[in-house]
Amino acid sequence: MKKLTVIAIAALLAIPLTGTTATDFLGHGDNSEMIEVGKKAPGFDLPGVAGVNRSLDDFKGHYIVLEWVNLDCPVVADYYEEGTVQDVQASLKSDGVIWLSICSAKPGQEGFYSGKDLRARLAAIGSQASDYLQDSYSKVANKYGTDTAPTTFLIRPDGRIIYAGAFDDAGKTSTSGARKQANHLQTAYEADRAGRKVEVTSTAPYGCEIEK
């Protein structure tokens, strides 16, 4: 069994989604194919929760967070139950950051939801993401070289990736309180926005494997 992760977005509209697969819970990090920090973020075009396709070009001039998720992954569920992700989403969005949650689950797998089921999950989680995108056959996940949910990427307004990897440094631990750790994503954003050097630009993601 494989576990993906879907970090949902705030209760927005709905788009048909259906199914996903849970995987062995594991800590990744040896993904040598993950796109390099400093490179231009690969473009994509994916359907959002409201049925409207989204691309990076739609958000030119903004900081953008890409967050690979799967609602059935224990790590993702833990984050959302604690409100950790929602707090960061709200904080960054108040600064004009675009937060895009991406699910690369296939139809029939755990973590892949559609219609009312999807809306219900997103509403229950209370995600504050700008949109939730469906990458059903991992085309975008492959472009970014990610095989773990959650994995996050921070893209500068000039289109370059300045952070890639885990949301924080809690590692494989998933007990309550374990996430009160350094938040790499938010720290990278705050440093770059203030004109400072981003000290930690990449880390090993940990969570659930994306089944491709």
CATH of the domain at 197: 3.40.30.10
Residue 18 lies in a domain: no
For residue 200, give its domain range.
25-209
Residue 6 lies in a domain: no
Average pLDDT, whole number, for the chain? 81
Q: How many domains does the chain have?
A: 1
Longest dimension (CA), the chain: 45
Structure tokens, 95? 């600064």
pLDDT at residue number 99 = 97
Q: Can you spell out the DSSP letters for 35-48?
A: PPTTSBPPP-EEEB
Q: Which pLDDT tens digit goes with each residue over 29-79?
A: 344 478 899 999 999 999 998 889 999 999 999 999 999 999 999 999 988
Residue 24: which residues within 8 A CB-CB, separation 6 or more?
Answer: 1, 2, 3, 208, 209
Residue 4 lies in a domain: no
Task: Kindly report the pTM of this predicted structure.
Answer: 0.82
- CA-CA-CA-CA torsion sign (146, 81, 118, 73): positive
Residue 7 lies in a domain: no
The DSSP bridge pattern shows strands 151-155 and 148-149 to be: unpaired
Residue 80 lies in a domain: yes
Q: Which of 58, 17, 21, 60 is nearest to 40 (CA)?
A: 60
Q: Which pLDDT tens digit goes with each residue over 185-210?
A: 999 999 999 999 999 999 999 999 99
Residue listed under structure tokens 């089921």: 117
Average pLDDT over residues 95-110: 93
Residue 102 · residue 6 · CB < 8 Å: no
Q: Which pLDDT tens digit goes with each residue over 114-135?
A: 777 887 888 899 989 999 999 9
Residue 10 lies in a domain: no
pLDDT at residue number 24 = 30
Residue 42 lies in a domain: yes
User: Residue 171, Cβ neighbours under 10 Å: how many?
Assistant: 14
Residue 169 lies in a domain: yes
